[in-house]
Amino acid sequence: MREHTTFGIGGPAAGFHFPDSRSELGKLLKYAKAEELPVYYVGSGSNLLVSDEGFDGIVISIAKTFTDLDIRADGSVFCEAGVMTGKFVRDISRAGFTGVETLSGVPGTVGGALVMNAGAFGHEISEHLRQVTVLRLNGEERVYKKAELNFAYRESSFQEGEFIISAEFKFPAGDITEIRNRQEMASLKRRKHQPLKYRSAGSIFKNPPSFAAGYLIEQTGLKGARSGDAMISGRHANFIVNLGKATAENVMELIKRARKRVSEQFDIRLELEIELLGFSRKMLTKYALSTV
């Protein structure tokens, strides 16, 4: 899995598949359900930490295959879940529609962005959503209207075993110069403040109410702290970077350290924004975390 995550960390999965159609994906899900095999959906592998032991199940990615993006003259957009968020933002902005340009630089796929309700600079991907089509483990498709879904900060109500395959949006027209300026400002802020030189999984923790997680960690003096080849970034303390050969346990040690220091100094419990995959119950108990 280290070859399939932006962190560059993780042991082997039992299987890794790129289904090239809804039919093939449906057959794969039915097989996994019949054989009682765990299934995990991954986009581009951002926002994910996989254990050093790997994952004893099937990992499915549609990042290379479900990539249709259709932007219509009225601002309605059909997007398959494997489209990279960067392309989604870029193409919609170039077409003169507004509402998504501040997500410029957000990693991953549109499907993954919807699951975690990705956002940046006060805007979230769910704002202009109209409906989402998912595929369930039994091969059944279901269409959710936006009103049937619940979105919150870095959360959505999609159920375990539901795989997003496409979504439809409606964006308003905007001034192309203002759109471009907001897009460039968002990109500039990311380049200035985020450690893009090294591999990472993006923000490690959710921002607690009224605070930025990076600020809290910085105040504890943990910027630059290391465990093996994992380091709390000196540029942005809510990023843990892989300096080359970091292990999942190195990252978990820094997560534990940051949570402990912030809890002691501010009485705030930081919650993970990244997802964890393949960790044993013993390891999770050690670090007081939960996962699939």
Which band of pLDDT confidence, cut at 50, 70 and 90, is reported for residue 227? Answer: very high
Which band of pLDDT confidence, cut at 50, 70 and 90, is reported for residue 188? Answer: confident
- Shared domain for 142 and 116, answered yes or no, is yes
Which band of pLDDT confidence, cut at 50, 70 and 90, is reported for residue 292? Answer: low
Q: Within a domain: residue 190?
A: no
Q: Pairing between strand 275-277 and 226-227? A: unpaired
Q: Within a domain: residue 34?
A: yes
For residues 99 and 127, the answer to whether their CB atoms sit within 8 Å is: yes
Q: Within a domain: residue 52?
A: yes
pLDDT at 65 over 60: yes
Tell me the C-alpha distance between 61 and 256, whole Å. 30
- Shared domain for 172 and 108, answered yes or no, is yes
User: Is 280 annotated as catalytic?
Assistant: no
Count the Cβ atoms, other than its own, within 10 Å of residue 124: 21
Determine the number of helices (DSSP H) and then strands (DSSP E) in the chain: 7, 18
What does DSSP assign to residue 146? G
Which band of pLDDT confidence, cut at 50, 70 and 90, is reported for residue 291? Answer: low
CATH number at residue 139: 3.30.465.10
Tell me the C-alpha distance between 61 and 18, whole Å. 5
- Shared domain for 217 and 250, answered yes or no, is yes
CA 85 to centroid of chain Cα atoms: 10
The parent domain of residue 274 ranges over 199-287
Residue type, position 228, single letter? G
Find the catalytic residue in 101, 124, 253, 273: 273
Tell me the C-alpha distance between 5 and 235, whole Å. 22
Tell me the C-alpha distance between 272 and 116, whole Å. 12
Residue type, position 150, single letter? N
- Shared domain for 37 and 78, answered yes or no, is no
- Which of 72-86, 118-132, 185-199 is predicted least confidently? 185-199
For residues 184 and 176, the answer to whether their CB atoms sit within 8 Å is: no
Q: Within a domain: residue 55?
A: yes
Residue type, position 17, single letter? H
Find the catalytic residue in 80, 101, 126, 154: 154
Find the catalytic residue in 51, 203, 227, 233: 203
- Shared domain for 57 and 73, answered yes or no, is no
For residues 69 and 98, the answer to whether their CB atoms sit within 8 Å is: no
CATH number at residue 39: 3.30.43.10
Which band of pLDDT confidence, cut at 50, 70 and 90, is reported for residue 92? Answer: very high
Count the Cβ atoms, other than its own, within 10 Å of residue 227: 19
User: Is 264 annotated as catalytic?
Assistant: no
- Shared domain for 32 and 53, answered yes or no, is yes
- Shared domain for 82 and 118, answered yes or no, is yes
What does DSSP assign to residue 15? E
pLDDT of residue 11: 97
pLDDT at 173 over 80: yes
- Which of 14-18, 30-34, 55-59, 189-193 is predicted least confidently? 189-193
- Shared domain for 159 and 112, answered yes or no, is yes
User: Is 184 annotated as catalytic?
Assistant: no
pLDDT at 279 over 80: yes
Tell me the C-alpha distance between 3 and 44, whole Å. 11
Domain count of the fold of the chain: 3
Q: Kindly state the tokens that stand for 182.
A: 């907001």
Count the Cβ atoms, other than its own, within 10 Å of residue 178: 11
CATH number at residue 230: 3.90.78.10
